[in-house]
Amino acid sequence: MAVDEIIDENTLLLRWKNTGQFGINFIKSNDKLEFVDNETMVTYAYAKVKHVEQLNKEYSKVIFEEPLPREIKKNHVVAADDYYPDILIRGCRIQKNRARGMLIGSRGKVVIRNNYFHTAGAAILFEGDGNFWYEQSGVKDVLIIDNIFENCNYGYSNWGRACIAVGSGIPDRKGGYYHHNIRIVDNKFRIFDPRILYLHNVDGCIFSGNKIEKTTDYTYTLSETRNFVYDDCININIEE
C-alpha cells in the first residue's frame, strides 16, 4: 500500500493504488512492516503495527508502536515483511496462455524444476515496483533447473524481453540491488528468438550447464540479437 497521508508521528493513512488489490486487508496488529522508497525501491526502515482500521476497500489507517521514520514521504510504500513462502514448481507444462508463463515474487527459497515452457511471452518473469502494479518483492534465492524452454516469446513483442526476464520498475536506483541470487543451470533452450536472458538490477546470477539449440519454427522480427543482456547488475556469471 502507498502512504497517502502522514497523520501524526505514529499514524499513517495508507491507500491501495492498484484497483485489482482493493478490499484486501493484509495488515494486522503486531505485523512488522517495511518502508520502501517508491522511486528507488530501497527498504529504509521497519516498524511494528499497533492497531489497524480498514476504513473501506481503498484506505486503511495504521498506528505504529514506535515513531515513524524521518525519511517517510507521501507515495512511499509499505509491505508486510513476514509472509514470504518457499516455492516449488515441478513437473508442470506451461503453454497456450497469454503473456508470460510465471511471474515470481517471493523472498523465500524458489525452485523451478523439470517443467516445460512454450509461452507467448517470457517463460519466467521477475518484477517489482512501487508506482504502477505495486508488486513487491525482489527475489533472494532462486534455482531454475532441468527445464525445457521451447520457442518462448513467439507472441506480442512487449510480453517479454527474453525467455527469462528480470526487471524492476525502479525510476531512480540508488544503492543496493533489488533481485539476488538467481541460478539457471542444466536447462534446455530451443530458441528462434535469440534473447535468452535479460537482467536488470540483479546482484548474483549464474547461467551454467545449459544447452541451447536454434530453431526456425517461428520468424524473428526484432532488432536485438544478443543472447544475454544485463544492465545495472553485479556478480553475473554466464558460462558456455
- The tens digit of pLDDT for each residue in 124-148 reads 999 888 898 888 778 999 999 999 9
Q: Which residue has the higher pLDDT, 147 or 107?
A: 147
109 and 138 in a single domain? The answer is yes
96 and 179 in a single domain? The answer is yes
Q: Residue 175: what pLDDT?
A: 67
Amino acid (one-letter) located at 28: K
Report the candidate in 104, 25, 36 with the shortest Cα–Cα distance to residue 76: 36
Indicate the pTM of the whole model.
0.91
For the chain, how many structural domains are there in total? 2
pLDDT band at 177 (very low <50, low <70, confident <90, very high): confident
Q: Which of 27, 58, 80 is the last residue of a domain?
A: 80
Q: Residue 41: what pLDDT?
A: 87
71 and 105 in a single domain? The answer is no
Q: Which residue has the higher pLDDT, 175 or 218?
A: 218
Q: Over 80: is that where the pLDDT of 82 sits?
A: no
Alpha-carbon distances of 58 from 142, 196, 199, rounded to whole Å = 33, 39, 34
Range of the domain at 156: 87-238
pLDDT band at 172 (very low <50, low <70, confident <90, very high): confident
58 and 11 in a single domain? The answer is yes
Q: Which of 80, 107, 136 is the last residue of a domain?
A: 80
Report the candidate in 189, 195, 239 with the shortest Cα–Cα distance to residue 221: 195
Q: Over 70: is that where the pLDDT of 45 sits?
A: yes
Q: Which of 55, 80, 105 is the last residue of a domain?
A: 80
Q: Residue 194: what pLDDT?
A: 97
146 and 212 in a single domain? The answer is yes
67 and 117 in a single domain? The answer is no
91 and 203 in a single domain? The answer is yes
